[in-house]
Chains A and B, each alone.
Chain A
């Protein structure tokens, strides 16, 4: 399905800042060497994005649509165990 060249990467410094927003984690991550640890998290995030987009897109195609709508994403979250932690986020999306 994916034939496009994937070059874009997540900004590593931004990920670290987001991590540090959590007060508990913030204290520990101060000393985190940005190079190795953040790249690991950035890679995991890339894979996560890839997975969630794929799942949402499957719903889109399955319903014969050409645009990935918010409720496609919601359905993907509700039907994928891995995405349980996202249920609250998609809760407010109205069903068609």
Chain B
């Protein structure tokens, strides 16, 4: 099932830029009680409202950004915009999302640090690597001995 409405070719025109109907329809469905459905017309209207919301928040965030003489919209500007426009109740959950992402980034950096923290210098690490290479080279060079080197199952 394709959710492209009559757009033939790779790029859709900018004027029709909107949120994917299927995604929004699914989300609406997940929000409604099981005995209530949504009319197609309503769903389309909801999409228009969502797009308008994006414009509203981003242009307010843009203003805040300019007032602070910054060049890039930061998450804090989005939060500020929500507060200014009466969507204060959203800010807690949005801040949670930001915290989660920052934490994820930290975790990624931690993994990179693990190599640094192994306590070995790059030269020592390299020496270890050479050792391992030499071992496996030895194994390949002596096929007969390789048979004997197979670990015996422990009984």
| A50→B31 contact, CB < 8 A | yes
Residue B50 at the chain A interface, CB threshold 8 Å: yes
Give every chain B residue within 8 A of A11 (Cβ-Cβ): 19-20, 23
CB within 8 Å: A-B pair count: 180
Q: How large, as a class, is the contact surface on chain A? A: 35 or more
Residue B27 at the chain A interface, CB threshold 8 Å: yes
Enumerate A1-57 residues with CB–CB distance to B below 8 Å. 1-11, 14-15, 17-19, 21-22, 24-25, 28-29, 31-33, 35-37, 39-41, 43-50, 52-54, 56-57
Interface of B toward A, CB cutoff 8 Å: 14, 17-20, 23-24, 26-39, 41-42, 45-46, 48-59, 61-62, 65-66, 71-75, 78-79, 82, 85-87, 89-90, 93-94, 97-98, 101-102
Interface of A toward B, CB cutoff 8 Å: 1-11, 14-15, 17-19, 21-22, 24-25, 28-29, 31-33, 35-37, 39-41, 43-50, 52-54, 56-57, 60-61, 66-70, 72-73, 77, 81-83, 85-86, 89-90, 93
Q: List 14 A-B contacts (CB under 8 A).
A: A4-B31, A8-B30, A9-B23, A21-B17, A28-B71, A39-B97, A40-B75, A47-B89, A47-B94, A53-B46, A57-B36, A70-B42, A81-B86, A82-B86
